[in-house]
C-alpha cells in the first residue's frame, strides 16, 4: 500500500511538505516531497524551528520541485536534524539553492541577532535560527540534480521523472511511480505551474496520465490579465508616478519575477515609454539570480529573450540604461536620498523582510509614491496588509500612514491563473484523482468548483490528512 500525508502547503501558499510512504520486497520506504519554509503569520517562526528529527530518521530521500523557499527553504533544517540522504531536484534548481539557502541563513541569523538583543535585556531566553551556513553547505552536498525527462531510481523500485513546469529556472512537475497493492501507482505533483504569458520561461508540460495528481491552487480563484494589457497598466503606473514626482517601489521576488520585470522595463525603454532615468535593483540575491538567468538562458526554448541576451553580451547600456545594481548596504542607504523619479526593486517580495522595508519607511507616507505589487502576498505578511488596503502599517517598529498608491499587477505572476490550471488538469486522460494544495482556502474552493464544472473531481485535503494511492 502507498499513502500520501499532507504535512504543509494545505490551505496556505507556504510551507509545502508531503510525505509519501510505500512498501516493496525490501520493506517500507518513505520519501519527502518538498520541505518548504513557512512565511507570514504569527506561527511561522515557531513552525520553522520545530524539530524535524523524527521525519529525518524516517525518510530515505527528498524530492524538490523547485528552489523557492516556500518549497525548499527548510532543507538545511532537515539536514541539521539528521537527514543524510539524497535530495533530488531538476537541473538548474541546485544553482538557485546555492543562492537562496545561503541568503536565507544569513537573513535569519541577522534577524535572530537583532531579536536576541532585546530578549537579553528583558531576561527572556535567547532564540536560535532554524539553521546555519554550515547546514546549507551540507545540504548542497546532498543535492542530486537531474535533467528533465530522465528517469531516476528511488528506493524500493520507485522511479522519479522531472518535467518542465515553466515557473522559474529549474522548476519541475514531479512524476513518481511506486508499487502499491500489487500494481504500479503513478503520482504527479504539479509543483508551481508557470504563467503561459511569461516572456522568459517555457509553457508547463502537459502530461497524459496519472492515478493521483497533487495540484497547486495559488491563483485558483482568478485569471491574470493578458500580458499586453498588463504591460499597458504597468506603463501607466510608471508615468503617473513620474508625473506626480514620486518614486516607484517594487517588492522583489528575487527568482523569476524580478527578471520578468526587468525584461519589460527594458522593452518599455526601447519603445521610448520609460520616463524614469534611475532603476535600482536593490537586492543582492536578486542580482545574483539575474546573473544566473543570464548564464542559463540558453537552456530556455522561448525566442523572446532579447533583453537578457543583451545583458549577457556585457553591455548593460544596451539592456536597460539607468539600471544600477546596488550590492552594498551603503549603496542601498544612498537610494533614500532620491526623492523622485526612481524605480526601486528590492527584496523581499512579500515585504516581510529585506531592504524593501527601509524604502517603504522612507516613501510609504508620501502620496506621490506608487507601490507596485507583482506577486502573491501570503496572509500575515506586510505586503498582504498593503494589498488589503491598510490605512497604516508597522514598518521596522514604526507605525506609518499608508498614503502611497498601492497597485496590484497580477499579470506578471509566475503562477498559472485559473484558466491555465484548468487547461493543464484537463490534459490528463482517464479520471485521475486530484488533490488541491498550495492555495488559500478561497482559492482552493473556487478551483475545486471550476474543476467540477469541467467534469474533474478534486479534493481539498486538510493538514495531517493521509490518503491511499
pLDDT above 50 (res 304): no
pLDDT at 312: 42
pTM exceeds 0.75? yes
**Based on the domain organization, do 260 and 396 belong to the same domain?**
yes
**Based on the domain organization, do 182 and 151 belong to the same domain?**
yes
pLDDT above 70 (res 439): yes
Three-state secondary-structure class, residue 109: helix
**Based on the domain organization, do 214 and 264 belong to the same domain?**
no
Range of the domain at 322: 227-412
> If you average pLDDT over every residue of the chain, what do you get?
90
Q: Which of 390, 412, 434 is the last residue of a domain?
A: 412
Banded model confidence at residue 128, pLDDT cuts 50, 70, 90 = confident
**Based on the domain organization, do 256 and 374 belong to the same domain?**
yes
Instruction: Quote the cell numbers at residue 435.
Output: 488533490
CA distance 120 to 18: 37
Contact 148, 174 (CB under 8 A): no
pLDDT at 306: 52
**Based on the domain organization, do 355 and 428 belong to the same domain?**
no
Three-state secondary-structure class, residue 62: strand
Instruction: Quote the cell numbers at residue 404.
Output: 502611497
Q: Which residues contact 260 (CB under 8 A, 6 or more apart)?
A: 198, 199, 200, 412, 414
DSSP 349: T
**Based on the domain organization, do 407 and 418 belong to the same domain?**
no
The number of CA neighbours under 13 Å toward the Cβ of 78 is 32
The CATH number assigned to the domain holding 168 equals: 3.60.15.10
**Based on the domain organization, do 252 and 182 belong to the same domain?**
no
Q: Which of 366, 392, 412 is the last residue of a domain?
A: 412
Q: Tell me: the pLDDT tens digits for 373-412?
A: 998 888 888 999 999 999 999 998 899 999 999 999 978 8
The CATH number assigned to the domain holding 268 equals: 3.40.50.10890
Q: Tell me: the pLDDT tens digits for 328-341?
A: 999 999 999 999 99
CA distance 221 to 440: 10
**Based on the domain organization, do 278 and 356 belong to the same domain?**
yes
If one counts the domains in the chain, the total is 2
**Based on the domain organization, do 294 and 443 belong to the same domain?**
no
pLDDT at 311: 46
Q: Which of 412, 428, 448 is the last residue of a domain?
A: 412
- Phi (first) and psi of residue 110, to 5 degrees: -65, -40
Q: Tell me: the pLDDT tens digits for 286-302?
A: 888 888 887 765 444 45
CA distance 126 to 298: 47
Q: Say which residue, 417 or 109, is predicted with more confidence.
A: 417
Q: Say which residue, 104 or 97, is predicted with more confidence.
A: 97
CA distance 134 to 82: 14
Q: Say which residue, 200 or 277, is predicted with more confidence.
A: 277
109, 361, 362 from 358: Cα distances, Å: 19, 5, 6
Amino acid at each position: 500500500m502507498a499513502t500520501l500525508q499532507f504535512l504543509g502547503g494545505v490551505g496556505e501558499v507556504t510551507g509545502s511538505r508531503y510525505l509519501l510512504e510505500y512498501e516493496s520486497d525490501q520493506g517500507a520506504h518513505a520519501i519527502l516531497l518538498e520541505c518548504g519554509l513557512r512565511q507570514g503569520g504569527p506561527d511561522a517562526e515557531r513552525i520553522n524551528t520545530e524539530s524535524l528529527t523524527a521525519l529525518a530518521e524516517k525518510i530515505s530521500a527528498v524530492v524538490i520541485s523547485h528552489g523557492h523557499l516556500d518549497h525548499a527553504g527548510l532543507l538545511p533544517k532537515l539536514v541539521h536534524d539528521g537527514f543524510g540522504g539524497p535530495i533530488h531536484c531538476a537541473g538548474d534548481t541546485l544553482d538557485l539553492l546555492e543562492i537562496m539557502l545561503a541568503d536565507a541563513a544569513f537573513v535569519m541569523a541577522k534577524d535572530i541577532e537583532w531579536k536576541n538583543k532585546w530578549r537579553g535585556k528583558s531576561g527572556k531566553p535567547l532564540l536560535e535560527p532554524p539553521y546555519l551556513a554550515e547546514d546549507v553547505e551540507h545540504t548542497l552536498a546532498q543535492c542530486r540534480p537531474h535533467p528533465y525527462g530522465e528517469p531516476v531510481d528511488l528506493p524500493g523500485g520507485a522511479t522519479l521523472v522531472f518535467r518542465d513546469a515553466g515557473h522559474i529556472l529549474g522548476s519541475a512537475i514531479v512524476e513518481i511511480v511506486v508499487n502499491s497493492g500489487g500494481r504500479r501507482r503513478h503520482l504527479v505533483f504539479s509543483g508551481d505551474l508557470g504563467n503561459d504569458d511569461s516572456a522568459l520561461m517555457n509553457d508547463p508540460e502537459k502530461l497524459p496520465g496519472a492515478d493521483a495528481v497533487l495540484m497547486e491552487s495559488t491563483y485558483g480563484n482568478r485569471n491574470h490579465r493578458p500580458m499586453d494589457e498588463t504591460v499597458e497598466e504597468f506603463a501607466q503606473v510608471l508615468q503617473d508616478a513620474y508625473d506626480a514626482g514620486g518614486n516607484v517601489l517594487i517588492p522583489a521576488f528575487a527568482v523569476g519575477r524580478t527578471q520578468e520585470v526587468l525584461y519589460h522595463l527594458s522593452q518599455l525603454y526601447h519603445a521610448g515609454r520609460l520616463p524614469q532615468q534611475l532603476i535600482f535593483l536593490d537586492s543582492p540575491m536578486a542580482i545574483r539570480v539575474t546573473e544566473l538567468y543570464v548564464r542559463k538562458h540558453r537552456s530556455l526554448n522561448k525566442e523572446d529573450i532579447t533583453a537578457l541576451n543583451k545583458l549577457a553580451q556585457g553591455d548593460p547600456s544596451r539592456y536597460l540604461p539607468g539600471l544600477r545594481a546596488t550590492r552594498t548596504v551603503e549603496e542601498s542607504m544612498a537610494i533614500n536620498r532620491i526623492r523622485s523619479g526612481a524605480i526601486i526593486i528590492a527584496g523581499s517580495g512579500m515585504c516581510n523582510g529585506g531592504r524593501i522595508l527601509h524604502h517603504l519607511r522612507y516613501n510609504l507616507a508620501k502620496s506621490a509614491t506608487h507601490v507596485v505589487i507583482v506577486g502573491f502576498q501570503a496572509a500575515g505578511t506586510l505586503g498582504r496588509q498593503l494589498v488589503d488596503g491598510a490605512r497604516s502599517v508597522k514598518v521596522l517598529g514604526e507605525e506609518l500612514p499608508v498614503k502611497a498608491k498601492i497597485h496590484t499587477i497580477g499579470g506578471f505572476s509566475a503562477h498559472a491563473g485559473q484558466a491555465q490550471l484548468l487547461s493543464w488538469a484537463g490534459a490528463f486522460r482517464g479520471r485521475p484523482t486530484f488533490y488541491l494544495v498550495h492555495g488559500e482556502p478561497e482559492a482552493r474552493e473556487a478551483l475545486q468548483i471550476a474543476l467540477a464544472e469541467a467534469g474533474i473531481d478534486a479534493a481539498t485535503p486538510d493538514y495531517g490528512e493521509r490518503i491511499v494511492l
